[in-house]
Amino acid sequence: MAVKAVSHVAIGVSDMERSLRFYRDVIGLRVRADQEEEMPAMGGAGPMKRRGVYLCWSEGPDESFIVLDQQHAPFGEPARLFQRAIHHFGFWVDDVAAIAERARAGGFEVVVQPSEGDSWTYGEPAGRRIRSSFLRDPDGNNVQVDQRL
């Protein structure tokens, strides 16, 4: 058996509308579904309700997606950049500078500014140089955007 793709990334949010402004309007993801869901008991917690918004960038049976998850009783703190455990995730994009500008215009933090002179090849599967920027979503999660040059 082989892995086909990452299934999804679930992101706990405290304010769904503000998070949608970031992930939909700044990053450019499309809303596939927006629904109230009843979740079964798991991980030592009892059954719960949440609003789940499913975001995608392409369609297909093995395509990855993002779930924004607003619990009726949110808890916890976001991970700091480069700490142990998952501390950020990234998206391939067409224009890093435009996304950083939309983030700034929307009042979101741009942690690492994109720069015309800065690029690198760290683990890039196509072997090309990339330009990156780090943004912080409304709940403090670190989001990287990468553009192949």
> What local confidence, expressed as pLDDT, does residue 40 receive?
81
Give 33-49 pLDDT, tens digit per residue. 999 988 887 777 778 88
Is the pLDDT score of 16 beyond 90?
A: yes
Query: What is the rounded CA–CA span in Å between residue 86 and residue 1?
Result: 25
- Do 88 and 11 form a contact (C-beta atoms < 8 A)? no
> What local confidence, expressed as pLDDT, does residue 119 receive?
62
Query: What is the rounded CA–CA span in Å between residue 115 and residue 106?
Result: 20
Give the residue with greater pLDDT, 33 vs 119: 33
Over the chain, what is the mean pLDDT?
87
3-class SS shares of the chain: helix, strand, coil, % to 5: 15, 40, 50
Domains detected in the chain: 8-71 (3.10.180.10), 88-148 (3.10.180.10)
- Which element (helix H / strand E) includes 125? none
> What local confidence, expressed as pLDDT, does residue 122 receive?
65
